[in-house]
Structure 1
Amino acid sequence: MFNHHLSLALFDIRLKSNHKDLVLIKGNDSEVESVPLEGTVKLSLKEDIHVKKINLSLVGEFYYEYMDKATKESFLDRLCILKVDWNNLLTDDTGKVVFGNYGDTTVPMYKLKNIKPNGEYNTGFNTPSPGSGSVSASGTATPTRPQNIRTKSTPIFFKDKEQLPPSKILKIPKSGVDGTPFKDVQTSSTHSFLLPKGNYNLPFKVYLPTNVPETIEGLPLGTVLYKLQCNIERGRFEKSANLSKHIRIVRTLHPQNLNLCDSIDVNNTWVGKIQYNVHMGRKGVAIGSNIPISITLVPMVKGLKLKAIHGCLVEHYHSQIGQQRSPEFERLVGKQELEIPDTDKLPYEKWEFKTHYKVPEQLKKVTQSCEIRDGMIVVKHRLRIGIQLKNSGGHVSELRANLPVFVYISANSGKVVGRHYDVDNHHGTFQLDYQKEDLLFKKESHQTPNLTPADSESEDESDESETEDLDRDEAAPPLYEKHVFDKIFDMNLPQTPLEQFRSQQASPLHSNNNSSLDVSGYFDIPIAQALENNLKKKNRAQTPIFDLEYMSHIPSYTEALDGNDDDGVGDDFAPTYSDSGSENVSGTTTPIRIEIPSKNNNDKSYLKTKSNSLPHSKSLSTNKSSLDPKSSSPSVKSRFFLHKKKDK
Structure 2
Amino acid sequence: MPIPFFSSNSSHSNLVSASASATASARHNAPYSSYNPHSYSTPAFPSTAHSPLQIILNSDRLICRGVAGNLEPARLSGHVVLTLTEATNIKDITLDLVGKAKIPTGERTNQSSINPTIFSHHWSFLPDAGHKHTIKEGRHVFPFQLDVSASLPASMMLHPPSTVSAAVHPEIYYKLRATAVRSSAFASNWHTSKPVFVIKAFSWESLEYTQSLEVENTWPGKVMYSIMIPHKAYAAGDTIPALMRFTPTAKGVTVLSVGMELTE
Q: TM-score, normalised by structure 2?
A: 0.66
Q: How does 1:230-629 map to 2 (within 5 A)?
A: 230-235=178-183, 237-251=185-199, 252-313=201-262, 315=263, 380=264
Q: Is 2:125 aligned against 1:89? A: yes
Higher Rg of the two aligned structures: 1
Q: In structure 2, how many angstroms separate the alpha carbons of the residues matched to 1:66 and 1:57?
A: 27
Q: In structure 2, how many angstroms separate the alpha carbons of the residues matched to 1:188 and 1:298?
A: 74
Q: Indicate the percent of aligned positions where both proteins have the same amino acid.
A: 25
| Aligned AA (2:157) | E
Mapped contact 1:60–1:80 kept (Cα < 8 A): yes
Mapped contact 1:22–1:247 kept (Cα < 8 A): no
- Find the counterpart in structure 1 of residue 86 from structure 2: 47
Please provide the CA RMSD for this pair.
2.8
Q: In structure 2, how many angstroms separate the alpha carbons of the residues matched to 1:217 and 1:287?
A: 14
Q: Is 2:153 aligned against 1:205? A: no
Q: In structure 2, how many angstroms separate the alpha carbons of the residues matched to 1:281 and 1:205?
A: 38
Q: In structure 2, how many angstroms separate the alpha carbons of the residues matched to 1:307 and 1:80?
A: 50
Q: 1:238 to 1:29 in 2, by over 3 A?
A: farther
Q: Is 2:261 aligned against 1:225? A: no
Mapped contact 1:34–1:209 kept (Cα < 8 A): yes
| Aligned AA (1:47) | E
Structure 1 residue 211, shift from structure 2 partner? 1.4
Mapped contact 2:53–2:178 kept (Cα < 8 A): no
Q: TM-score, normalised by structure 1?
A: 0.29
Structure 1 residue 89, shift from structure 2 partner? 0.8
Mapped contact 2:176–2:196 kept (Cα < 8 A): no
Deviations 1:51-87 (A, max 9, x none): 222121111111121538xxxxx9620110111011x
Deviations 1:517-572 (A, max 9, x none): xxxxxxxxxxxxxxxxxxxxxxxxxxxxxxxxxxxxxxxxxxxxxxxxxxxxxxxx
Q: In structure 2, how many angstroms separate the alpha carbons of the residues matched to 1:292 and 1:229?
A: 39
Mapped contact 1:230–1:244 kept (Cα < 8 A): yes
- Find the counterpart in structure 2 of residue 80 from structure 1: 117
Structure 2, unpaired ranges of 5+:
1-45, 159-165
Q: In structure 2, how many angstroms separate the alpha carbons of the residues matched to 1:217 and 1:32?
A: 22
Structure 1 residue 205, shift from structure 2 partner? 1.7
Structure of greater relative contact order (alpha carbons < 8 Å, 6+ residues apart): 2
Structure 1, unpaired ranges of 5+:
1-7, 69-73, 92-186, 316-379, 381-648
Q: In structure 2, how many angstroms separate the alpha carbons of the residues matched to 1:280 and 1:89?
A: 50
Mapped contact 2:92–2:182 kept (Cα < 8 A): yes
- Find the counterpart in structure 2 of residue 63 from structure 1: 102
Q: In structure 2, how many angstroms separate the alpha carbons of the residues matched to 1:43 and 1:188?
A: 17
Q: 1:230 to 1:291 in 2, by over 3 A?
A: closer
SS at match of 1:303: coil
Q: In structure 2, how many angstroms separate the alpha carbons of the residues matched to 1:246 and 1:226?
A: 9
Structure 1 residue 188, shift from structure 2 partner? 6.7
Mapped contact 1:89–1:204 kept (Cα < 8 A): no
- Find the counterpart in structure 2 of residue 196 from structure 1: 136
Number of aligned residues: 203
Mapped contact 2:65–2:72 kept (Cα < 8 A): no
Moved over 6 A (4+): none
Mapped contact 2:61–2:196 kept (Cα < 8 A): yes
Q: 1:199 to 1:244 in 2, by over 3 A?
A: closer
SS at match of 1:306: coil
Q: In structure 2, how many angstroms separate the alpha carbons of the residues matched to 1:205 and 1:288?
A: 26
Mapped contact 1:35–1:208 kept (Cα < 8 A): yes
Structure 1 residue 285, shift from structure 2 partner? 4.0
Q: In structure 2, how many angstroms separate the alpha carbons of the residues matched to 1:285 and 1:50?
A: 50
Q: Is 2:80 aligned against 1:38? A: no
Mapped contact 1:60–1:226 kept (Cα < 8 A): yes
Mapped contact 1:51–1:234 kept (Cα < 8 A): yes
Mapped contact 1:63–1:76 kept (Cα < 8 A): yes
SS at match of 1:245: strand
Q: In structure 2, how many angstroms separate the alpha carbons of the residues matched to 1:196 and 1:302?
A: 85
**Higher share of residues assigned helix:** 1
Structure 1 residue 245, shift from structure 2 partner? 1.4
Q: 1:233 to 1:59 in 2, by over 3 A?
A: same
Mapped contact 1:232–1:240 kept (Cα < 8 A): no
Q: 1:12 to 1:36 in 2, by over 3 A?
A: same
Structure 1 residue 214, shift from structure 2 partner? 2.2
- Find the counterpart in structure 2 of residue 16 from structure 1: 58
Structure 1 residue 297, shift from structure 2 partner? 3.0
Structure 1 residue 210, shift from structure 2 partner? 2.1
